[in-house]
Amino acid sequence: MKIIELKAYPTSFPVPPEDSVTLGIGRAVKRDAVVVKVTTDDGVVGWGESHHGRAPGAVAHLVNTTLRQLVLGMDAADVVGVWGRIYKMQLGSHGMGAGTALAMSGIDQALWDIRGKVTGWPLYRLLGGTSRPIPAYAGGVSLGYQEPAALVDEARPLVAAGYRAVKLRVGDTPARDLERVAAVRKAFGDGLVILVDANTGYSVADARAAMPGLDAHGVGWLEEPFAAHDHRSYALAATFGRVPLAAGENHYTRFEFTRVIEDRVITILQPDLSKTGGITEGLRIAAMASAWKLSVNPHTSMTGLNMAASTHFLAAIDNAGYFEADVSKGNLFRDTLVGTPYTLGKDGCVRPLEKPGVGVEVDEEFLVKHPVIEGPSYV
């Protein structure tokens, strides 16, 4: 079962003003993704998602040139070997660092999709898991900077739909952030888990001002107050309050997570299967975290491919935390590009899909109709 073709499709669609969300990295103006297709010599096709890295054309070009040439002809079942070859020949020796991690993640996902289709097993079974409920929180590009009353109005139907946890966007100013958190807490009471994400929008002074209030409102975690590599600021912030610090969507491979874990500062780990090196590397990170009794709460990416893969992954590890459900408005990558990637149960949980592999198929006509839109996705 040899890899005979590999192709990445950069794809985008504009976000209409009424659906745009403002958060710590700006206002969303478009959505981007990179969809990877791998074909074997016996006709099996696997699909994966590489995170766009805010440069979808560049990430797709890396897949379609250097990485394609490295893996053509290799055994499609050899996920460890393919990962190791890309690491040796590109990421670990000649750079492109995060870009290579993004690009190889989609290839790895597609190979796992192929393995599941060949065996006839859903991915969670192939990974050693079982179908079980996974608690979900309402996340994605949603619940951003707005007046507190409007934020409560956005959260209300999500809570009514069954979500028992929501993630609010902070990183505006500590005072306005705490006003929004207080409004949601007052509206829904202590039974709702409130998580917050600053999208790297805080300074150390902001974190110092905000964290006591986040503690007072019983917030479950403060996500990415600072850039991923700003280890000193994370260490300082850990002394400002009790709210756990969360990060990981912008940490790449187990090698970066090694420092995160050993620093004992960030205690909520959030690797993204479309960014950190794929499912193969996600399993390694989860195993390391398990030894430290740390939960893994994957960041989900743009398309239903990543979302479906993340549910399988969580069903197969022993330290699974939350699934990040994408509740953003009008996400065509979730609703149109693929079939339904997950369904929320009345218990506030999701379960992995039962079809072979990742469990969703890609509408290739969508990719033709939605070519890449170059330029920044946030302004």
Q: What is the CATH number of the domain that holds 57?
A: 3.30.390.10
Q: Find all residues with CB under 8 Å of 136, minimum gap 6, and list them.
A: 163, 165, 322, 323, 324, 325, 342, 344, 348, 349, 350
- Asked whether residue 374 is assigned to any structural domain, the reply reads no
- Asked whether residue 224 is assigned to any structural domain, the reply reads yes
Q: Dump the DSSP string for 155-212.
A: HHHHHHHT-SEEEEE--S-HHHHHHHHHHHHHHH-TTSEEEEE-TT---HHHHHHHHH
- Asked whether residue 355 is assigned to any structural domain, the reply reads no
**pLDDT tens per residue, range 82-108:** 999 999 999 988 766 899 999 999 999
- Asked whether residue 376 is assigned to any structural domain, the reply reads no
Q: What is the count of structural domains for the chain? A: 2
Let me know whether 108 and 128 are in one domain: no
pLDDT of residue 94: 76
Let me know whether 75 and 147 are in one domain: no
Let me know whether 62 and 152 are in one domain: no
Gap between the Cα atoms of 135 and 123, Å rounded: 19
Let me know whether 10 and 78 are in one domain: yes
Start-to-end C-alpha separation, the chain: 45
Residue 239 sits in a domain whose CATH number is 3.20.20.120
- Asked whether residue 238 is assigned to any structural domain, the reply reads yes
Let me know whether 317 and 170 are in one domain: yes
- Asked whether residue 375 is assigned to any structural domain, the reply reads no
Q: Residue 83 belongs to what domain range?
A: 3-120+364-369
- Asked whether residue 306 is assigned to any structural domain, the reply reads yes
Gap between the Cα atoms of 268 and 280, Å rounded: 20
**pLDDT tens per residue, range 273-319:** 999 999 999 999 999 999 999 999 999 999 999 999 999 999 999 99
- Helices 278-291 and 253-263, packing angle to 10 deg: 20
- List the structure tokens of 167: 């993630």
pLDDT of residue 95: 67
Phi-psi group of 38: left, alpha or beta (phi > 0 → left; psi -120 to 50 → alpha; rest → beta)? beta
- Helices 79-86 and 97-119, packing angle to 10 deg: 170
The burial class, CB within 10 Å (0-12 / 13-18 / 19+), for 264 is exposed
Let me know whether 104 and 189 are in one domain: no
Let me know whether 136 and 174 are in one domain: yes
Let me know whether 25 and 139 are in one domain: no
pLDDT < 70: residue spans in the chain:
95-96
Let me know whether 129 and 257 are in one domain: yes
- Asked whether residue 298 is assigned to any structural domain, the reply reads yes
Let me know whether 303 and 244 are in one domain: yes
* Degrees, nearest 5: CA angle 164-165-171: 160
Q: What's this model's pTM, rounded to 2 decimal places? A: 0.97
User: 3-class SS at 95?
Assistant: coil
With beta carbons less than 8 A apart as the criterion, state whether 182 and 205 touch: no
pLDDT of residue 344: 98
Let me know whether 244 and 303 are in one domain: yes
Residue 288: CB atoms within 10 Å: 18
Let me know whether 206 and 306 are in one domain: yes
Q: Which amino acid is at 221?
A: W
